[in-house]
């Protein structure tokens, strides 16, 4: 696998492990609550206050449900960020292997050139500047530029592109506007039936569908990039997860 692949898959697995851990922890707390509430009737009266606190809480399951939208938002944002970081890592690798792709009509000053000790240092800065420029564009603009300038298509078809754009814009809403629909979102995602001022609501079932779509996009993009740019690959192994055994990828 490429280095960009490895970073994406590791972060993706860490996210899945974290969500699984939270669900498992909630189940464990529920079992502990039930056990304590049954036993507390037979033990010292001074524990009544603690028992009342458990009962007032309404159970870990209810607490978990009450925060599910917040946790789903966190999961979605982390998943989308991981996907966008993968795109940046991949393009950095592509530009490093193909510096001729950096050729453009953009001008560079003498002071910028003389500020570097070598051409390699200058090249690396130009790559980072290019990655920064691409990363700050909306995903639709980014995808079209990669296709038109470099012949690199990172989406299967128009519907696929629109679905990714929607996910990225949902992430932007959560991060920049507390998940409340605004005019920018409506402009960039015209197919959305949500109204301006409406709060987006999520659940983990929806999140997993989103993550599946991003992972499908990830594998599609990686296969296209490997074939087009002949990216180097190597066998990598993840460290053993606390939830599952080690996984090998090539």
Average pLDDT, the chain: 79
Of 220 and 207, the structure prediction assigns the larger pLDDT to 220
Q: What is the pLDDT of residues 103-133, one digit of tens each?
A: 776 677 767 777 777 777 777 777 888 888 8
pLDDT at 232: 79
Using only the alpha carbons of the chain, give its radius of gyration: 24
Sign of the torsion formed by the C-alpha atoms of 143, 145, 148 and 149 = negative
Which is more confident, 32 or 133?
133
Phi, psi at 248, each rounded to 5°: -100, 140
Q: For residue 199, list its beta bridge partners.
A: 180
Taking 80 as the threshold, does the pLDDT of residue 77 lie above it?
yes
pLDDT band at 180 (very low <50, low <70, confident <90, very high): very high
Structure pTM?
Answer: 0.75
pLDDT number for residue 29: 63
- So what's the pLDDT on residue 187? 92
Query: What residue segments make up the domains of the chain, in order of their start?
Result: 3-19+68-249
Instruction: Locate 87 and state its tokens.
Output: 């795109």
**Lowest mean per-residue pLDDT among 37-41, 122-126, 137-141, 223-227:** 37-41
Tell me the H-state helices in 136-203. 139-150, 158-177, 183-188
19/23 Cα distance (integer angstroms): 6
Residue 172 has pLDDT above 90, yes or no: yes
Neighbours of 142 (CB within 10 A): 21
Q: Which two tokens stand for residue 97?
A: 């292997």
Using pLDDT thresholds of 50, 70 and 90, give the confidence band for residue 248.
very low
Q: Which of 88, 221, 222 is nearest to 155 (CA)?
A: 221
Structural contact between residues 122 and 113, judged by C-beta atoms closer than 8 angstroms:
yes
CA-based nearest residue to 213, from 74, 112, 80, 68: 80
DSSP letter, residue 249: E
């Amino acid at each position: 696998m490429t280095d960009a692949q490895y970073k994406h898959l590791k972060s993706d697995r860490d996210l899945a492990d974290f969500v699984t851990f939270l669900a498992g922890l909630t189940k464990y707390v529920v079992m502990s609550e039930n056990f304590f509430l049954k036993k507390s009737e037979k033990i010292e009266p001074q524990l009544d206050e603690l028992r009342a606190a458990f009962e007032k809480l309404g159970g870990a399951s209810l607490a978990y449900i009450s925060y599910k939208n917040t946790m789903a938002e966190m999961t979605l944002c982390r998943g989308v960020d991981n996907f966008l970081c993968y795109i940046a890592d991949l393009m950095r690798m592509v530009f490093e292997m193909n510096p001729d792709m950096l050729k453009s009509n953009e001008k560079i000053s003498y002071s910028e050139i003389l500020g570097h000790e070598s051409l390699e240092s200058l090249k690396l800065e130009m790559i980072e500047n290019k990655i920064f420029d691409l990363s700050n564009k909306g995903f639709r603009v980014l995808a079209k530029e990669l296709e038109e300038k470099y012949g690199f298509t990172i989406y299967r078809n128009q519907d696929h592109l629109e679905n990714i754009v929607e996910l990225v814009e949902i992430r932007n809403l959560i991060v920049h506007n507390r998940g409340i629909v605004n005019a920018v979102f409506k402009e960039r995602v015209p197919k959305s039936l949500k109204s301006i001022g409406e709060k987006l609501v999520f659940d983990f079932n929806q999140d997993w569908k989103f993550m599946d779509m991003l992972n499908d996009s990830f594998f599609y993009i990686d296969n296209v990039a490997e074939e087009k740019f002949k990216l180097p690959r190597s066998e990598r192994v993840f460290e053993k997860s606390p939830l599952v055994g080690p996984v090998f990828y090539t």
